[in-house]
C-alpha cells in the first residue's frame, strides 16, 4: 500500500530541495512588492498550461519559446501591477528584456528563464523599473523568501496563497510546494490566475506535462469567480530531481502517488483562489454525482458554481434552490429531471421532481457558514466531479468598477 500524501499547510515553493525565492518592490505598484523570482539550483524539468484566450500576453509567448528550447527552466521571473498584454511588438521586446535581465542576474542561460506578468491589460510595461528591480532580487530558501515572492505576485488578492505536500517515493522524501495568485477574472480553461509549483522529484518533462495536464482538469479548470478568462494565466511546474528518487514515469510503481500529491497541492491552491474571489465572503463547493461522463459532471458542477443567481443567493443567505435548478436546466449535461436531487449541506431541498420538506430557517442558517457545499445528483450515470467558486457581493462591483482608477 502506498504511503499517504501528507498535506503541509505551511508548505511553499522553497520547501522542495534546491529552490529559492524572493520578491521586491520595483515601482510598478505604489508601495507593494511587485517583482519576484523562483530559482532552482539546477535546471529543472518544466511543464506548463496556459490561458486559452486568443489574446495571449507577451510574457506567455516568450515563456513558451523558452520551453520549446528544451523543456528545462531554472528561473521564473514574475511582475505584478502590469499584464504586458495587448502591447504589440514593444510588449514582446519588454518580455525579452525581462527574461534577459533575470538570466544575467542569476548567471543562467536565457532559454532557462521563464517570465510572467499580471495586472492591468493594455498599458506599457515600465521596463526600466523592472530591470532595476531585478538587481535587488536575492533569493533564499527561507520562509521570508517564499513569502516575499507570494506577495510580489498579488493584484486584488486579499492574501497570499500557498500549499505543500510531502510524500515518500523510492524511500526518498519528496516535496511538492506551490504559490498562486488569483482573485478576479477567474474562469479557466486557465484564468487572472498564476500558479507556480516546485518539486524535488526526478521526472522528465514529458511525463511532468502529462501529470500537470491531467491534474489541471480537475483542479484549476474547475474554479470560477466571474466567468471571465484573462490573457496572462499560466501554471508552471519545475522538477529539479534533487530528492534522488528513480525518475518517475507512468510505469513507475509510485506514479499515481506522485500525481495524488500534485493534485492535492493544485486543489488546495485552486480552492484558495476561489475563496479569495474579489469581494467574496464565502467559498462555494459544488459536488456532482450521477453524471453520464466525467466531462458532463464537471460541466454541471461549473454551471452551478458559476451562476450569478446561485452566487447572489448564497451571498444573501437565501436557500433558493430554484436558482440551482435554473443553472442545471441549461447545462449541456445529461440528467434525469424526475430523479435529480439537490442538497444544501445535509438539507435535501429537491428530489423526484418536487420540493422536499425542510426547515427554511435551518437551511438559511447553514448559509451563514464560510464554506457552502451544494450537492447535486444528476441520476444519469456514475461519474462524479467537483467545482469551486464564491459568492457575488456588492464589493465585487466596487472593486471592478474602479480597477484602473
Report the catalytic residues: 192
Q: Classify strands 234-239 and 193-199 as parallel, antiparallel or unpaired.
A: parallel
Alpha-carbon distance of 225 to 275, in angstroms, equals 9
* Element at 59 (helix H, strand E): helix 58-68
The CA-based diameter of the chain, rounded to the nearest angstrom, is: 68
| DSSP string computed for 219-234 | TGGGB-SSS---SS-E
Phi-psi group of 12: left, alpha or beta (phi > 0 → left; psi -120 to 50 → alpha; rest → beta): beta
Helix extents (H) in 107-224: 127-134, 143-152, 205-218
CA distances from 16 to 11, 44, 234 (A): 9, 12, 21
Helix extents (H) in 219-359: 255-275, 294-305, 308-315, 321-329
Q: Classify strands 172-182 and 347-351 as parallel, antiparallel or unpaired.
A: unpaired
Tell me if residue 376 falls in helix, strand or coil: strand
Amino acid at each position: 500500500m502506498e504511503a499517504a500524501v501528507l498535506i503541509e499547510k505551511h508548505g511553499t515553493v522553497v520547501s522542495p530541495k534546491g529552490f529559492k525565492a524572493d520578491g521586491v518592490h520595483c515601482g510598478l505598484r505604489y508601495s507593494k512588492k511587485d517583482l519576484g523570482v523562483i530559482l532552482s539550483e539546477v535546471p529543472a524539468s518544466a511543464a506548463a498550461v496556459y490561458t486559452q484566450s486568443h489574446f495571449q500576453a507577451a510574457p506567455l509567448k516568450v515563456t513558451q519559446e523558452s520551453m520549446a528550447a528544451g523543456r528545462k527552466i531554472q528561473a521564473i521571473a514574475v511582475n505584478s501591477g502590469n499584464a504586458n498584454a495587448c502591447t504589440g511588438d514593444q510588449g514582446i521586446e519588454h518580455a525579452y528584456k525581462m527574461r534577459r535581465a533575470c538570466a544575467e542576474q542569476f548567471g543562467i542561460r536565457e532559454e532557462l528563464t521563464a517570465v510572467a506578468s499580471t495586472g492591468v491589460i493594455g498599458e506599457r510595461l515600465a521596463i526600466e523599473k523592472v530591470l532595476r528591480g531585478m538587481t535587488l532580487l536575492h533569493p533564499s530558501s527561507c520562509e521570508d523568501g517564499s513569502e516575499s515572492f507570494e506577495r510580489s505576485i498579488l493584484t486584488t488578492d486579499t492574501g497570499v496563497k500557498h500549499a505543500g505536500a510531502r510524500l515518500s517515493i523510492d524511500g526518498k522524501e519528496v516535496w511538492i510546494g506551490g504559490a498562486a495568485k488569483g482573485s478576479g477574472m477567474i474562469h479557466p480553461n486557465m484564468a487572472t490566475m498564476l500558479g507556480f509549483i516546485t518539486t524535488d522529484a526526478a521526472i522528465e518533462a514529458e511525463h511532468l506535462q502529462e501529470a500537470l495536464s491531467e491534474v489541471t482538469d480537475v483542479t484549476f479548470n474547475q474554479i470560477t469567480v466571474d466567468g471571465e478568462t484573462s490573457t496572462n494565466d499560466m501554471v508552471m511546474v519545475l522538477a529539479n530531481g534533487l530528492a534522488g528518487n528513480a525518475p518517475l514515469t507512468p510505469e513507475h510503481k509510485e506514479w499515481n502517488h506522485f500525481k495524488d500529491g500534485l493534485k492535492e497541492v493544485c486543489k488546495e491552491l485552486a480552492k484558495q483562489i476561489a475563496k479569495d474571489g474579489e469581494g467574496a465572503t464565502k467559498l462555494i463547493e459544488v459536488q456532482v454525482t450521477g453524471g453520464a461522463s466525467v466531462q458532463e459532471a464537471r460541466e454541471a458542477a461549473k454551471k452551478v458554481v458559476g451562476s450569478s443567481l446561485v452566487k447572489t443567493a448564497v451571498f444573501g443567505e437565501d436557500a433558493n434552490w430554484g436558482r440551482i435548478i435554473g443553472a442545471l436546466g441549461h447545462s449541456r449535461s445529461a440528467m434525469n429531471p424526475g430523479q435529480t436531487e439537490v442538497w444544501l449541506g445535509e438539507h435535501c431541498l429537491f428530489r423526484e421532481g418536487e420540493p422536499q420538506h425542510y426547515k427554511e430557517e435551518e437551511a438559511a442558517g447553514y448559509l451563514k457558514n464560510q464554506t457552502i457545499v451544494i450537492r447535486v445528483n444528476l441520476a444519469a450515470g456514475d461519474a462524479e466531479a467537483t467545482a469551486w467558486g464564491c459568492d457575488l457581493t456588492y464589493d465585487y462591483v466596487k472593486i471592478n468598477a474602479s480597477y484602473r482608477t
